[in-house]
Structures are given as C-alpha cells and as structure tokens.
C-alpha cells in the first residue's frame, strides 16, 4: 500500500486506526456490536446516539469498550432532546472521539470536549460553516454531500470539495456521500481528504445485523431509487431525508400536510410538529431495520446504493477498497510519469 499509506497518513494518525475509513453512525444500526466489529477490522466505528434514553447510551459505550480496544467515536445529535445528557455521558466516560451532527455545537461544548481529552469532528455544509467550526476549535471536519443517505444537507459533495476541501489543509477533513469504491476513495485522498466515511455500503456487510429484507432492498435498488423527501411548504423547516422510495415515503408527504394544517389551526406548535416528523422517521426506520417492513418502513440509503449489489464480510469490504484504491493510484502515477 505504498501510495495509500502516504496519502492517508494524516487520517491514520488522527483516528489512530489502520484504515481511515469511517462507518457513518446509523440509528438502529450503529450499536456496540457493529461499531466494535468495524473498529476490530481496522476501520473506525461510530456509535449512533440518536435520541436514545441516556441510560441506554451509557450502556452502549461500556459495551463497545468491552468488545474492542481500538479507537471509536460517538455521533452526538445537537438537536436531539437528549443531547445534553448524551454529551455529559460521553464526557464522563471519556469517549475519545466526538462527532457533532444535526446542527452546530457551541464553542463552549467543543472546548469542554477537548479539555476532556476528546478529539472533535463537526459537519460543515459550506465554507462559512467550515471556517466557523475551525475558529471554534474543532480538530477535524466532515464534508457530507447530499448524495448521502438519511438526513442530508442541500449541497453535493462535488461542490463541498471545491468550497471547503481545496481551501483548508490545516486540519484533517473527511468526506462522505456517494462513496462506495476504492477508486473514488483514491481520488478523494489525492484531492486532500484525510479519509472517507461510508454508510450504505456497510449495510451490506455480513456483520451488520439488520433484517434480511432491508439488505435485499439495498441489493435490488438503483441509484435513482434513493430520493430525497420533498418539503411540503416551508413552515416546518423539515430536514430532507434520502431513502429508497416506497409507500412509506409517499405517505410522509401526506403527514407533512396534516401537520402544517394542525399548526395553522393552532392545534400543535412548530416545535411539536418537527418532533412528530422525527418520531415518524425513527419509528419507520426501526420498522424497516428490525422488523423488515420495506413497504412502509424507512429505507434510508445514499445514492451509492446503486453501486452495491452483494453482501460481503467487513474484511472483504476493506480488502476490496484497499486493492482498488492502490491500483487506481498506481495507474495515476504511471500516467503522470509520461
């Protein structure tokens, strides 16, 4: 891995792992079992805090530590009702990496995490946010394009690379959204990325304990089947979700309209309506992931779902990514010598 080792050394050193390939935190999926297996395989696992009951989140951290002595992190959703409890637990338990998502962490929270010995990563959806997070003291950035699955921003990774990655080489920057091959990883590393994050491809790992129906839906899906939910009006400020289209996604549009009408009639506040939206998605995702309801459950997936068509072990996924990446870099090196 002559070329890869040179290009991803910053990511290796920052994460303390063999492969700076991160498994994105996925609600109902990225628990201690999956996270520890990813880390033990040489990658970087990340616990999904979501809106778990605080006591359950604390148990997940302890169980992860029991299952691996490798580095791992936790994804903290700043807009989650349980966020403050989650942050305190992560601090108390000395989680080595904290990845803030959902919205922007306060500078005081970043400082608290760093004083506690944690390395902090924050998502940046444009250049101004990237600068703000760097000024606030984050140790690394995550650029996640709208090609990703689950809750997404408005900008594609292609644009974020040009807005942010090319202009900041002072801290490690990781990239996510639409990544599923070693070839793409190699090109992103050449552009300056410290590493990559994948979610959709890891769903099809044998170690990922989701319902077989859920995996089968991913195998059958094409890239164009993973669509972003349309916002019905702007009153609820609903964050778009990318998932494989099914009856449940179609019903979500009807739900939005019902909540908007209730809000207009004064039957429900905007905050309560937004909470109902999140409750819908979390419940629908659980129905698909755990119960196998692929008709009305939520099949959160990125557009890279069209690039994966089989299940593999984590070892096979990492080996394939590395082999493809190194081969791609060798081809590029040969062209540059001409």
State the Cα–Cα distance between residues 16 and 5, nearest whole angstrom.
Answer: 13
Residue 237: pLDDT above 80?
A: no
Answer yes or no: is 338 within a domain.
no
Closest listed residue to residue 251, CA positions, set 280, 274, 272: 280
Residues linked to residue 241 through DSSP beta bridges, in sequence order: 151
Answer yes or no: is 312 within a domain.
yes
As given in the structure block, the two tokens for residue 95 are: 């989680």
- Its domain, for residue 281, covers 222-300
Answer yes or no: is 216 within a domain.
no
Residue 338: pLDDT above 70?
A: no
Q: What percent of the chain has pLDDT over 70?
A: 99
Tokens 């063999």 label which residue? 18
pLDDT given for residue 200 in this prediction: 98
Q: Please tell me whether residues 140 and 270 are part of one structural domain.
A: no
Q: Please tell me whether residues 276 and 327 are part of one structural domain.
A: no
Q: Please tell me whether residues 325 and 191 are part of one structural domain.
A: yes
Q: Please tell me whether residues 82 and 171 are part of one structural domain.
A: yes
Which tens digits make up the pLDDT trace of 145-171? 999 999 898 899 999 999 999 999 889
Answer yes or no: is 42 within a domain.
yes
Q: Please tell me whether residues 326 and 284 are part of one structural domain.
A: no
Mean pLDDT of 192-201: 98
Q: Please tell me whether residues 164 and 243 are part of one structural domain.
A: no
Q: Please tell me whether residues 51 and 85 are part of one structural domain.
A: yes
- What does each C-alpha distance from 129 to 5, 120, 121, 238, 279 come to in angstroms? 30, 15, 13, 20, 28
pLDDT given for residue 221 in this prediction: 97
Closest listed residue to residue 77, CA positions, set 257, 284, 278, 290: 278
Answer yes or no: is 50 within a domain.
yes
Closest listed residue to residue 111, CA positions, set 127, 91, 84: 91
pLDDT given for residue 232 in this prediction: 73
Residue 325: pLDDT above 70?
A: yes
303: left (phi over 0), alpha (psi -120 to 50) or beta: alpha
State the Cα–Cα distance between residues 155 and 145, nearest whole angstrom.
Answer: 6
Name the average pLDDT for the chain: 94
Which tens digits make up the pLDDT trace of 51-69? 899 999 999 999 999 999 9
For 206-237, give the DSSP string: TT----HHHHHHHHH--GGGEEEPPPSSSSS-
Q: Please tell me whether residues 147 and 113 are part of one structural domain.
A: yes
Answer yes or no: is 317 within a domain.
yes
State the Cα–Cα distance between residues 145 and 138, nearest whole angstrom.
Answer: 20
Give just the sign of the alpha carbon dihedral 170, 176, 180, 184.
Answer: negative
Q: Please tell me whether residues 142 and 195 are part of one structural domain.
A: yes
Of 289 and 237, the one with more pLDDT = 289
Answer yes or no: is 262 within a domain.
yes
Q: Please tell me whether residues 282 and 228 are part of one structural domain.
A: yes
pLDDT given for residue 46 in this prediction: 98
Q: What is the count of structural domains for the chain?
A: 2
Instruction: Give 150: exposed, middle or buried? Use CB within 10 Å, 0-12, 13-18, 19+.
Output: buried
Tokens 């990544």 label which residue? 179
As a whole number of Å, the CA-based R_g of the chain is: 19
Of 113 and 280, the one with more pLDDT = 113
Q: Please tell me whether residues 235 and 312 are part of one structural domain.
A: no
Residue 248: pLDDT above 80?
A: yes
State the Cα–Cα distance between residues 252 and 260, nearest whole angstrom.
Answer: 12
Pick from 97-101, 109-113, 213-217, 251-255: least confident: 251-255
Residue 199: pLDDT above 70?
A: yes
Which tens digits make up the pLDDT trace of 260-277? 899 899 999 888 887 888
Number of Cβ atoms within 10 Å of the Cβ of 233? 10
Pick from 21-35, 233-247, 317-331: least confident: 233-247
Backbone angles phi, psi at 290, to 5 degrees: -95, -35
Answer yes or no: is 217 within a domain.
no
Q: Please tell me whether residues 182 and 202 are part of one structural domain.
A: yes
Of 20 and 229, the one with more pLDDT = 20
As given in the structure block, the two tokens for residue 100 are: 């803030």
pLDDT given for residue 235 in this prediction: 77
Instruction: Give 228: exposed, middle or buried? Use CB within 10 Å, 0-12, 13-18, 19+.
Output: middle
State the Cα–Cα distance between residues 85 and 61, nearest whole angstrom.
Answer: 14
State the Cα–Cα distance between residues 110 and 121, nearest whole angstrom.
Answer: 9
pLDDT given for residue 252 in this prediction: 85
């Amino acid at each position: 891995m002559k070329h890869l080792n040179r290009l991803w050394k910053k990511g290796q050193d920052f994460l303390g792992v063999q492969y700076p390939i991160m498994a994105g935190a996925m609600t109902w999926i990225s628990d201690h079992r999956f996270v520890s297996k990813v880390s033990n395989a040489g990658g970087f696992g990340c616990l999904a805090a979501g809106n778990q009951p605080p006591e359950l989140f604390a148990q997940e951290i302890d169980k992860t530590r029991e299952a691996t002595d490798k580095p791992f992190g936790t994804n903290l959703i700043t807009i989650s009702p349980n966020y403050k409890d989650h942050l305190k637990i992560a601090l108390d338990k000395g989680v080595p990496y904290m990845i803030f998502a959902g919205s922007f962490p306060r500078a005081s929270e970043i400082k608290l995490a760093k004083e506690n010995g944690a390395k902090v990563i924050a998502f940046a959806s444009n250049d101004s946010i990237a600068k703000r997070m760097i000024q606030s003291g984050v140790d690394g950035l995550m650029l996640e394009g709208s090609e990703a699955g689950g809750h997404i921003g408005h900008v594609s990774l292609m644009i974020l690379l040009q807005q942010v990655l090319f202009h900041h080489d002072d801290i490690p920057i990781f990239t996510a959204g639409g990544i599923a091959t070693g070839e793409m990883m190699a090109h992103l590393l050449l552009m300056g990325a410290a590493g990559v994050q994948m979610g959709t491809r890891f769903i099809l790992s044998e170690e990922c304990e989701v319902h077989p129906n859920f995996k089968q839906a991913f195998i059958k899906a094409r890239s164009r089947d993973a669509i972003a939910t349309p916002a019905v009006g702007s009153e609820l400020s609903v964050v778009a979700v990318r998932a494989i289209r099914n009856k449940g996604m179609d019903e979500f549009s009807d739900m939005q309209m019902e909540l908007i009408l209730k809000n207009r009639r004064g039957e429900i506040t905007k905050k309560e309506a937004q909470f109902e939206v999140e409750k819908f998605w979390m419940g629908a995702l659980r129905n698909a992931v755990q119960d196998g309801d692929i008709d009305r459950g939520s099949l959160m997936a990125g557009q890279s779902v069209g690039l994966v068509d089989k299940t593999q072990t984590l070892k096979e996924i990492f080996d394939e990514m590395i082999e493809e990446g190194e081969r791609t870099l060798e081809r590029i090196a040969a062209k540059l010598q001409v």
